[in-house]
A and B are shown apart, each in its own frame.
Chain A
Amino acid sequence: MNVEFEPSPDFVARVMTQVHACTYEKTSFVEWLISARPVRYLLACGGTAFGILSAAPVF
């Protein structure tokens, strides 16, 4: 083991960029859609609006 070895300052950043790129390539659109927070909030808001606007008959 080379004890004098020092990684470059942006080593972690470069590795993580590659990791993110790799993960992004592997993630399917459906997976992304399910895990995306805005989509989840949008579904929740839509569900709330549907719950409020589901009309009961009044004679």
Chain B
Amino acid sequence: MKETTEAVPLNQAVVREKSKIREYAESILWALILALIIRTCVVQAFKIPSGSMEDTLAIGDHLLVNKFIYGIKLPFSEKRFLKLRDPRQGDVMVFEYPVDRSKDFIKRVIGVPGDEIEVRNKHVYVNGVLYQNPHEVYRETAVFPREMNPRDNFGPVRVPPRSYFMMGDNRDNSCDSRFWGFIKESDIKGKALIKYWSWDRNAWRVRWENIGRLIE
């Protein structure tokens, strides 16, 4: 009789301990699943380590990327579903770097499928019409000849179906489609949406004015 009365609280303690561990395991599992689903289908965070998109995106900017606007990409597949719209000229997009798939790049869409792109003396022409984006900047006055470097004189080339021509806003310091060609639709990760954090490591300060700013 005595054994029974002592065994009951011990078992209860073991059960309570187990349930506490189980509750924690469940919480961690749900947190992981939720984070994974949100990162894959809704928004993903990125940070800028290079100046190829200056002044739109500065080094140290942290941004959220809309993952569903061009369709949610299924993992390990090239299929997309629930597409809201196709990429448009002027969109700032994140995509897999075609030369090294382990890296992601962020650039502005200049040419959509069917467009003819040409760069003449730094000026971009799309279908023969000068295309000037209000965010583009030029930091160097020197103009390279076509034979030397495609930076300032390039093309004309026609954008193939399901492909895009991308350029950085910092036109003189950007490694973009002028150097490595088009990106495929399947390489697109999403559209840059908003800056949620910005750290200026040179001045050692937060760029408060950038936080919450939409990327256009």
Proximity bits, A40-52, B CB within 8 Å = 1, else 0 = 1101110110111
Q: Does A44 contact B28, Cβ atoms closer than 8 Å? A: yes
CA distance A44 to B38 in the complex (A): 15
Q: Which residues of A contact B45 (CB under 8 A)?
A: 52-56
Q: Is A34 an interface residue (CB 8 A)?
A: yes
Q: Which residues of B contact A52 (CB under 8 A)?
A: 35, 38-39, 43-45
Q: Does A55 contact B46, Cβ atoms closer than 8 Å? A: yes
Q: Does A58 contact B27, Cβ atoms closer than 8 Å? A: no
CA distance A18 to B20 in the complex (A): 24
Q: Does A59 contact B62, Cβ atoms closer than 8 Å? A: no
For the complex formed, measure the closest distance between the CB of B50 and the CB atoms of chain A, giving whole angstroms. 5
Q: Does B35 contact A55, Cβ atoms closer than 8 Å? A: no
Proximity bits, B17-35, A CB within 8 Å = 1, else 0 = 0001001100110111011
CA distance A43 to B36 in the complex (A): 17
Q: Is the interface of A mostly helix, strand, loop or mixed?
A: helix
Q: Which residues of B contact A27 (CB under 8 A)?
A: none
Which residues of A in the span 5-57 have a Cβ within 8 Å of any Cβ on B?
Answer: 34-35, 40-41, 43-45, 47-48, 50-57
CA distance A47 to B27 in the complex (A): 10
A35, A54, A56, A59 interface centre (most CB from chain B within 10 Å): A59
Q: Is B216 an interface residue (CB 8 A)?
A: no
B-contacting residues of A (Cβ < 8 Å)? 34-35, 40-41, 43-45, 47-48, 50-59
Q: Which 10 A-B pairs have the closest CB atoms?
A: A51-B35, A55-B47, A58-B46, A44-B27, A55-B45, A47-B31, A44-B31, A58-B104, A48-B31, A58-B106
- Beyond the given pairs A35-B20, A52-B39, A59-B106, 12 more chain A to chain B contacts, judged by CB atoms under 8 angstroms and listed by A's residue number, are A40-B23, A40-B24, A43-B27, A44-B27, A44-B30, A52-B38, A52-B45, A53-B45, A55-B45, A55-B62, A57-B49, A59-B103
